[in-house]
Amino acid sequence: VQLQASGGGLVQTGGSLRLSCVASGDTFTRYVVAWFRQGPGKEREFVAGIRRNSGFTSYEDSVKGRFTISRDNAENTVYLQMNSLKPEDTAVYYCAADRGVIVSNTRNSGAYGYWGQGTLVTVSS
Protein backbone atom coordinates (compact mmCIF):
# COMPACT_ATOMS: atom_id res chain seq x y z
CA VAL A 1 0.00 0.00 0.00
CA GLN A 2 1.14 3.56 -0.68
CA LEU A 3 0.30 6.40 1.70
CA GLN A 4 0.03 10.09 0.90
CA ALA A 5 -0.21 12.51 3.83
CA SER A 6 -1.37 16.09 3.45
CA GLY A 7 -3.02 18.95 5.29
CA GLY A 8 -0.17 20.41 7.27
CA GLY A 9 0.53 24.11 7.49
CA LEU A 10 1.11 27.10 9.71
CA VAL A 11 -1.51 27.86 12.34
CA GLN A 12 -1.69 30.01 15.44
CA THR A 13 -2.02 28.64 18.95
CA GLY A 14 -5.58 27.49 19.51
CA GLY A 15 -6.20 26.90 15.83
CA SER A 16 -7.20 23.75 13.98
CA LEU A 17 -5.96 21.63 11.13
CA ARG A 18 -7.14 18.40 9.55
CA LEU A 19 -4.57 16.00 8.20
CA SER A 20 -5.43 13.41 5.59
CA CYS A 21 -3.74 10.13 4.75
CA VAL A 22 -4.87 8.64 1.46
CA ALA A 23 -4.03 5.02 0.72
CA SER A 24 -3.71 3.30 -2.62
CA GLY A 25 -2.57 -0.04 -3.93
CA ASP A 26 -4.38 -2.45 -1.62
CA THR A 27 -7.64 -3.03 0.20
CA PHE A 28 -7.52 -0.31 2.80
CA THR A 29 -9.87 -2.02 5.23
CA ARG A 30 -7.18 -4.62 5.94
CA TYR A 31 -4.89 -2.03 7.54
CA VAL A 32 -4.45 -0.58 10.97
CA VAL A 33 -3.46 3.07 10.58
CA ALA A 34 -1.68 5.45 12.92
CA TRP A 35 -0.28 8.94 13.01
CA PHE A 36 3.16 9.62 14.41
CA ARG A 37 5.03 12.89 14.71
CA GLN A 38 8.59 14.06 15.05
CA GLY A 39 9.27 17.48 16.47
CA PRO A 40 12.51 19.46 16.19
CA GLY A 41 15.24 17.61 18.06
CA LYS A 42 12.82 14.94 19.25
CA GLU A 43 12.27 11.30 18.59
CA ARG A 44 9.31 10.11 16.58
CA GLU A 45 6.29 9.56 18.81
CA PHE A 46 2.88 7.99 18.52
CA VAL A 47 -0.05 10.39 18.21
CA ALA A 48 -3.17 8.34 17.43
CA GLY A 49 -4.20 5.01 15.97
CA ILE A 50 -7.33 3.45 14.55
CA ARG A 51 -8.22 -0.18 14.02
CA ARG A 52 -9.63 -1.61 10.81
CA ASN A 53 -13.30 -1.18 11.59
CA SER A 54 -12.88 2.17 13.39
CA GLY A 55 -14.30 0.61 16.53
CA PHE A 56 -11.14 1.17 18.52
CA THR A 57 -9.00 4.27 18.65
CA SER A 58 -6.10 5.26 20.87
CA TYR A 59 -4.31 8.52 21.58
CA GLU A 60 -1.15 9.80 23.12
CA ASP A 61 -2.02 11.44 26.43
CA SER A 62 -1.08 14.99 25.43
CA VAL A 63 -3.52 15.03 22.50
CA LYS A 64 -6.51 13.36 24.13
CA GLY A 65 -9.56 15.60 23.92
CA ARG A 66 -7.94 17.77 21.25
CA PHE A 67 -7.22 15.37 18.38
CA THR A 68 -9.60 12.92 16.72
CA ILE A 69 -8.61 10.14 14.36
CA SER A 70 -11.18 8.74 11.97
CA ARG A 71 -11.28 6.76 8.76
CA ASP A 72 -13.42 6.63 5.66
CA ASN A 73 -12.78 3.22 4.16
CA ALA A 74 -14.85 4.02 1.09
CA GLU A 75 -12.46 6.90 0.37
CA ASN A 76 -9.33 5.00 1.52
CA THR A 77 -8.58 7.89 3.83
CA VAL A 78 -7.69 8.36 7.47
CA TYR A 79 -8.06 11.80 9.02
CA LEU A 80 -6.51 13.47 12.03
CA GLN A 81 -8.58 16.41 13.19
CA MET A 82 -6.40 18.60 15.40
CA ASN A 83 -8.04 21.28 17.53
CA SER A 84 -6.70 23.62 20.21
CA LEU A 85 -3.24 23.34 18.75
CA LYS A 86 -0.25 24.25 20.89
CA PRO A 87 3.31 25.20 19.94
CA GLU A 88 4.48 21.83 21.27
CA ASP A 89 2.39 20.15 18.57
CA THR A 90 4.82 21.52 15.99
CA ALA A 91 6.25 18.54 14.13
CA VAL A 92 6.33 16.59 10.93
CA TYR A 93 3.34 14.27 11.04
CA TYR A 94 3.51 10.85 9.41
CA CYS A 95 0.79 8.34 8.72
CA ALA A 96 1.67 4.68 8.95
CA ALA A 97 -0.17 1.47 8.18
CA ASP A 98 0.16 -2.25 8.40
CA ARG A 99 -2.05 -5.30 8.37
CA GLY A 100 -0.67 -7.22 11.30
CA VAL A 101 -0.55 -4.69 14.11
CA ILE A 102 -1.89 -6.19 17.31
CA VAL A 103 -3.60 -3.89 19.79
CA SER A 104 -0.71 -3.89 22.23
CA ASN A 105 1.66 -2.76 19.47
CA THR A 106 -0.44 0.13 18.20
CA ARG A 107 1.95 2.74 19.64
CA ASN A 108 5.10 1.04 18.37
CA SER A 109 6.44 2.64 15.19
CA GLY A 110 8.34 -0.55 14.42
CA ALA A 111 5.06 -2.39 13.96
CA TYR A 112 4.24 -0.43 10.81
CA GLY A 113 5.80 -1.30 7.50
CA TYR A 114 4.22 1.39 5.36
CA TRP A 115 4.75 5.11 5.83
CA GLY A 116 3.66 8.29 4.15
CA GLN A 117 6.08 11.09 3.35
CA GLY A 118 5.15 13.37 6.23
CA THR A 119 3.42 16.72 6.41
CA LEU A 120 4.71 19.66 8.44
CA VAL A 121 2.55 21.26 11.11
CA THR A 122 3.82 24.51 12.61
CA VAL A 123 1.97 26.13 15.50
CA SER A 124 3.02 29.68 16.25
CA SER A 125 2.76 31.16 19.74
Across 106-113, average pLDDT: 96
pLDDT band at 28 (very low <50, low <70, confident <90, very high): confident
pLDDT at 53: 77
Q: What tens digit of pLDDT does each residue of 74-91 get?
A: 999 999 999 999 999 999
Of 118, 101, 109, 125, residue with least CA distance to 39: 118
Helical H segments across 60-121, by residue range: none
Single-letter code of the amino acid located at 2: Q
| DSSP label at residue 99 | S
Q: Which contacts qualify for 111-114: CB closer than 8 Å, 24 or more apart? A: 112/32, 112/34, 114/1, 114/2, 114/3, 114/31
Across 54-69, average pLDDT: 93
Task: Using the predicted structure, report yes or no on whether residue 70 has a pLDDT greater than 80.
Answer: yes
